[in-house]
Amino acid sequence: MSHSELIALLPLIIAAAVAITVMLAIAFARHHGLIMALTVGGLAVLLAVLPLVDRQAPIAVTPLLEVDRLALFYTGLVTLATIATALLIYGYLGPRAAGREELYLLLVNALLGAIVLVASRHFAAFFLGLELVSVSLFAMLAYPGWRPQPLEAGIKYLVLSSLSSALILFGMALIYTELGTLEFAAIGARLAGPERVMTAYLLAGTMLLIAGVGFKLSLVPFHLWTPDVYQGAPAPVAGFLATVSKGAVLVLLLRYFVETGAYDLAPVITVLGLIAAASMIVGNLLALLQTNVKRILAYSSIAHFGYLLVAFLAAGALGIEAVGFYLVAYFVMTLGAFGVVTVCSSDAREAGSLADYRGLAWRRPWLAGGFAAMVLSLAGIPLTAGFIAKFYVFAAGVGNALWILIGVLVVTSIVALVYYLRIIVMLFAAPEEGGVPAPGAATIPPLGAAVLCVLAAVLFWLGVYPAPLIATLRHMAASLL
């Protein structure tokens, strides 16, 4: 392995080193603050080396990984989201929680899998990264073992994730049977040849692959596990699942479609269009029926990945830029929303019900204002990152004449305003006499408050001045195509 390849692998090496360091530190000294500091400090070092790695990009490291601007950009994004999650976890896990330190080890292992996913150029690396994320999440979702709901969430995710992995493996096998390779670039070269034929094996394999990924992204009709898992999971872990896990899988799917030329497979694009429309419609309509904030956010995430699929299907440079901007905005909005739920919760009880937030503006006005900002951004209100993200998706869809999907996006976005405004109305409603306040509303963990302040600042910055991020995404898209 050359010197350049070793430098290119530094993000993976550092993430693995952080996991080993945290594991050894836990064995020698169980100290919650120390383990959190080691985790955050190690991930900060990972972020610091990304500019150094960028000087070597793009570079293929073995047939498995491609370290390019796409991989580095999303490595930075998922690492920042993991740092935010670690800081939120520190305040969430109270002094009564036993074995708190291992949760950070699982968090770093999941990040390692996400980094592998965003750099994958081979089905073997794809599956390795996917399982690293999934296996870590099984335990993270069920981590508060003293409560039955997280255990139920972990078991449901285990069963459905196993089914998803089986579908993906079967799809890989069928594609390999037809083309004789597992490398994305080689698949693209063979599909682009003069003998290219849409065979039953190739079509079935691609459809199975989409079905398996659909479970990971909780797209309709593979979404049934999502609200139950989100509701039962610890709030910071639910935020991590909604962002890092799903975002890394979508980036992998984007690379696969670009490098293999799967955009030219008309039946596949038709199916993805139907899935996108169904996700936008079903996600928003079912969210109207919910009275639990975490279930509302779960159905909201289904709808948002339907919006993301519109940009994904637009393809080309503008489509890749739209996917990138929407993912950044989605990470900020979703981490912020689940961050508020986290600081209003504790290891003993989740503040899940809408009633828990009634009158929060009168008890904690800054916290309620931050939550309202995140919700308004999810709804796509101007001056927020969510508005620019939806406009970007709209422009990409119009540029590629995806008129039906654009129409569905506009109508369902209007419907979404209803359940988002329900949350805001509850925040500013007069408190019920004798009502029980949100569990964690009395004290806000300092680290959690800091994370929420940073996320709110980024939310409005991207909504008012998105030009630097757009320029970065433009360079990234040009390097991928």
**How many whole angstroms separate alpha carbon 343 and alpha carbon 235?**
9
> Which residue from 124, 129, 18 is spatially nearest to 71, judged by alpha carbons?
129
404: which residues sit within 8 A by CB, 6+ positions away?
273, 277
| Total residue count of the chain as it appears in this document | 481
Q: Are 78 and 244 in contact (CB under 8 A)?
A: yes
Q: Is 144 helix (H, G, I), strand (E, B) or coil?
A: coil
Instruction: Kindly tell me the burial class for residue 363, based on how many C-beta atoms sit within 10 Å of its own C-beta (0-12, 13-18, 19 or more).
Output: middle
**How many whole angstroms separate alpha carbon 177 and alpha carbon 233?**
39
Each of the 481 residues of the chain gets a pLDDT tens digit; together they read 788 888 889 999 999 999 999 999 988 888 888 899 999 999 999 999 999 998 887 888 888 898 889 999 999 999 999 999 999 988 888 655 566 788 899 999 999 999 999 999 999 999 999 999 999 998 898 887 667 788 888 888 898 888 999 999 999 999 998 888 899 888 888 877 655 566 888 888 989 999 999 999 989 888 888 888 998 888 899 999 999 999 999 999 999 998 888 888 888 899 999 999 999 999 999 999 988 899 999 999 999 999 999 999 988 889 999 999 999 999 999 999 999 998 887 666 777 788 888 888 888 888 889 999 999 999 989 999 999 999 999 999 998 888 999 999 999 999 999 999 999 999 888 776 555 455 544 567 788 889 999 999 999 999 999 999 999 999 888 888 7
449: which residues sit within 8 A by CB, 6+ positions away?
343
- The tokens describing 170, both together, are 């079967």
> What dihedral angle (degrees, nearest 10) is formed by the CA atoms of 72, 77, 79, 82?
-160
- The tokens describing 178, both together, are 């037809």
